[in-house]
């Protein structure tokens, strides 16, 4: 029996700011299944990043129940069971490319050959020739591809991408997204991409729209 990657029951997230209650995410229920490809669309401040942080187990809902049946328990999901891709690649400047990519394995203390795995992830993205370069030697598109390799190196079952092409020009953005989809082709890895670009969203199998913390048009994608 296939288990959902994520199962959410009426989860919400609110903050208290200056004595005022801010509802960043209003109650929503959903499931994310292996192999799902979901675009999360909304304007700035709509709640996209809030929802991604919850899915990544980097934050906790203030209401409802959130679980990862196919992955494991809260607190034990990152950095190998869930991979993150950010708008900026956030590479450590003193480490070369292969060392940056290997970081999740070292943090998780997996016992796997971290450099070998990192080089394999770079090869999967098609940038193994960059392995010994420093971040300052990379173009924006190259750096973002390194960020993709770092997200993939732990062999996660869920990848969350927060505006991964937001700082790139149109042509480079397409190349980076092509690379990500190609790396996941034929796998059961679930992908959720927060984006404001309809061209990116059109390439996913389902679109969730979020505005003012309200998630709409949720369509579960069958396994």
What are the domain boundaries of the chain? 6-94+155-216
Q: Count of CB atoms within 10 A of residue 220's CB?
A: 13
* Distances from the Cα of 200 to the Cα of 10, 110, 149, 151, angstroms: 28, 33, 19, 19
Token pair belonging to 221: 């994608």
Output 72-77 pairs: Cβ under 8 A, ≥24 positions apart. none
**194-207: per-residue pLDDT in tens?**
988 888 889 999 99
**pLDDT in single tens digits along all 223 residues of the chain:** 899 999 999 999 999 888 888 899 999 999 999 999 999 999 888 999 999 999 999 999 999 999 999 999 888 787 779 999 988 878 999 999 999 999 988 887 766 668 899 999 999 889 999 999 999 999 988 999 999 999 999 899 999 999 887 778 888 888 888 889 999 999 999 999 998 888 888 999 999 999 999 998 775 544 4
* Most distant CA atoms of the chain, gap in Å: 53
- The partner residues of 192 in beta bridges, in order of sequence, read 38, 160
pTM of the model: 0.90
Environment class of residue 41 by beta-carbon count within 10 Å: exposed (0-12), middle (13-18) or buried (19+)? buried
Buried b / exposed e over 134-149, threshold 16 CB at 10 Å, is bbeebeebbbbbbbbb
The confidence score (pLDDT) of residue 223 equals 41
Superfamily of domain 6-94+155-216, CATH level 4? P-loop containing nucleotide triphosphate hydrolases (3.40.50.300)
Whether the CB-CB separation of 175 and 72 falls below 8 Å is answered with no
Quote the CA–CA distance of 223 and 220 in Å, as a whole number. 9
Give the model's pLDDT for residue 222. 43
């Amino acid at each position: 029996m296939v288990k959902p990657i994520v199962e959410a029951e009426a989860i919400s997230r609110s903050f208290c700011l200056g004595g005022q209650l801010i509802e960043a995410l209003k109650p929503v229920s959903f499931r994310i299944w292996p192999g799902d490809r979901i675009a999360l669309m909304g304007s700035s401040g709509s709640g996209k990043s809030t929802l991604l942080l919850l899915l990544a187990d980097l934050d906790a809902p203030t209401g409802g129940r959130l679980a990862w049946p196919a992955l494991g328990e809260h607190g034990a999901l990152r950095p190998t069971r869930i991979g993150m891709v950010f708008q900026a690649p956030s590479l450590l400047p003193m480490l070369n490319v292969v060392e940056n990519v290997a970081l999740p394995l070292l943090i998780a203390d997996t016992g796997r050959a971290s450099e070998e795995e990192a080089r394999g992830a770079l090869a999967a993205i098609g940038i193994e020739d960059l392995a010994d370069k420093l971040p300052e030697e990379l173009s924006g598109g190259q750096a973002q591809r390194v960020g993709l390799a770092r997200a993939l190196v732990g062999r996660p079952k869920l990848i969350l991408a927060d505006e991964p092409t937001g700082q790139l020009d149109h042509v480079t953005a397409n190349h980076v997204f092509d690379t990500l989809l190609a790396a996941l082709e034929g796998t059961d890895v679930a992908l959720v991409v927060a984006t404001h670009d309809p061209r990116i969203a059109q390439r996913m199998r389902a679109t969730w729209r979020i505005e003012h913390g309200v998630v709409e048009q949720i369509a579960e994608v069958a396994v």
